[in-house]
Amino acid sequence: MNPVLKPFPKGGLPSASIHSVRFLAEKELARFKSGKDYPAKPFADATLSDREPVKAVTIPSGYDRLETFFFVRPGVKTFALHDGIRKGLAYDAEATASLALDLSGLSSGDAERVLSAIGSYLVLATYEPTKYGKKAAKKDSDKKKKTEPELLVKSPFSPSRAKEIFESARSMGEAANLVRTLAEMPANELRPESYHRRAKALAREWGAEFAFYDRKALEKRGAGGFLAVVQADPDHGYGIAKLTYKPKGKASGRRVALVGKGLCFDTGGYNIKTGDYMLEMHRDMTGSAVALATFGHLVRSGTKDHLECYLALAENLISATAYRPNEVVIASNGVSIEVVDTDAEGRMALSDTLVLACESDPDLVIDYATLTGAVIRAIDTRRSGVFANRDSLRELAVTAGEACGERTWGFPIGEDYWEAIQSDIADVRQCATTNNSDHIYAATFLSSFVKPEVPWLHVDLAAESNKGGLGLSAKDVTGYGVRLTDEILRRFRPEKKKAAAKAKKK
């Protein structure tokens, strides 16, 4: 179900099934504690602090409507705002048909952030993973009972501007839910072949071109990194899916490539995962889901960028033909790789996918991958790690993460980190022989497959799942990445020398 935006009724709120929500600046809390407008008791213990810069107070209003007041500290960070909204609103799509949102007590900047957050949150709150068997029948029955929720808004914006903010936010919420849906599909439902079909159908829906590099095409390209991972797969459904969107009308001139790791299941290969470590490995394709869903969001939003999306679709299986440590393979750019750990398959699959993405000389390549456990050990699952071949691009990703609420942490690559992945027999080792800082070594390895002249950002998706939810997401699987990319692209400017070279070619 998708929320519908409507203007605030002039004659006051109708009583039935409407949850009234007001956002106010922190300074207004004193007035409510005085009891001038409302009974003071519900507000008596409400306080704001550095740890809790957003405070929600909910009081009954009559018999059939709730009223929630959010008090917001000036300069509150976006993540804290999102976290406060999720915890304070606890929206129940089944119990509440509509929200009446009053933002007139906020500055225009804070009002825009809140409207965007609520627009996404209402969509995220309706998410449920795909159900099977009797659970699926019950879910279908429940769907028939639900009505589209309405969002009645009073804001400092014109109706057209409010709609623009809301529609963008709703689209990001839908995209995040697509990430979650794909990520939570069982491994026997989402295999490379069926994922290929889904991506192709979505490309058609979005008006994008679709191509697929199957085994023969990859062999022709000499994609030894990718093909090493899939040696044990007897079905040959693996490959690299490519979606292309060419904007209608006047284009921005920017060319952006999104790349995703799509390991539909990861056993670890001969370096097999043991015990609980193999649980949830059907979600090792989350990076590809982020790339695909973000592509769809940008297209639906009317992007003027030329977009390409590359999905490395594979499974890391075990058989007599599986790849082994100390083998040497050669990627499609001629770089030879000494295999160290078959459980480091993600970087192998991405190697040839990044080479392919760079062939069109994009202004920016962003790749997404659930690549390492080391990044989680470094920063937990509340942020994701970002790495880039430009310091300015890494810093932009950190700034964008703070601004949009999907936070990141920047790490270095290259320089003396190369020493740990040098090989005596190949151009590069797949990984270091120690797990310390593997997130840095993995990103350094990946940089071998990116043209130096192409700006490249790598997102190690530590925040794809967080116990108890994160930001606007109330569930463990967060859908992280769409909002971050949207904000990065709002801020990104192509390098002048690349823009000049393109203009010269024309």
d(CA 316, CA 232) in angstroms, rounded, equals 8
What tens digit of pLDDT does each residue of 93-121 get?
666 668 899 999 999 999 999 999 999 99
Whether the per-residue pLDDT at 139 is higher than 70: the answer is no
Q: Which residues are catalytic?
A: 273, 347
Closest to 433 (Cα-Cα) out of 336, 346, 338, 350: 338
1 confidence band (pLDDT: 50, 70, 90): low
Alpha carbon separation from 111 to 23, 69, 353, 469 (Å, rounded)? 8, 14, 41, 24
140 confidence band (pLDDT: 50, 70, 90): low
Tokens at 212, concatenated: 């697929």
d(CA 493, CA 363) in angstroms, rounded, equals 9
What tens digit of pLDDT does each residue of 319-364 get?
999 999 999 999 999 999 999 999 999 999 999 999 999 999 999 9
- Residues with Cβ within 8 Å of 325's Cβ and at least 6 positions away in sequence, in order, are 270, 271, 339, 340, 341, 342
CATH 3.40.630.10 in the chain, residue ranges: 190-505
Query: What is the rounded average pLDDT for all residues in the chain?
Result: 93
CATH of 190-505, one of 3.40.50.1110, 3.40.1790.10, 3.40.50.10330, 3.40.630.10: 3.40.630.10
CATH 3.40.220 in the chain, residue ranges: 4-179
- Residues with Cβ within 8 Å of 198's Cβ and at least 6 positions away in sequence, in order, are 182, 190
What is the fold of 4-179?
Answer: Leucine Aminopeptidase, subunit E; domain 1 (3.40.220)
Q: pLDDT higher for 470 or 37?
A: 470
Question: In 3-state terms, what secondary structure has residue 463?
Answer: helix
Give pTM, 2 decimals: 0.95
What tens digit of pLDDT does each residue of 415-474 get?
999 999 999 999 999 999 887 899 999 999 999 999 999 999 999 999 999 999 999 999
- Residues with Cβ within 8 Å of 287's Cβ and at least 6 positions away in sequence, in order, are 260, 261, 262, 346, 367, 368, 369, 370, 371, 459, 461
Question: In 3-state terms, what secondary structure has residue 49?
Answer: coil
Mean pLDDT on 292-320: 98
d(CA 110, CA 53) in angstroms, rounded, equals 13
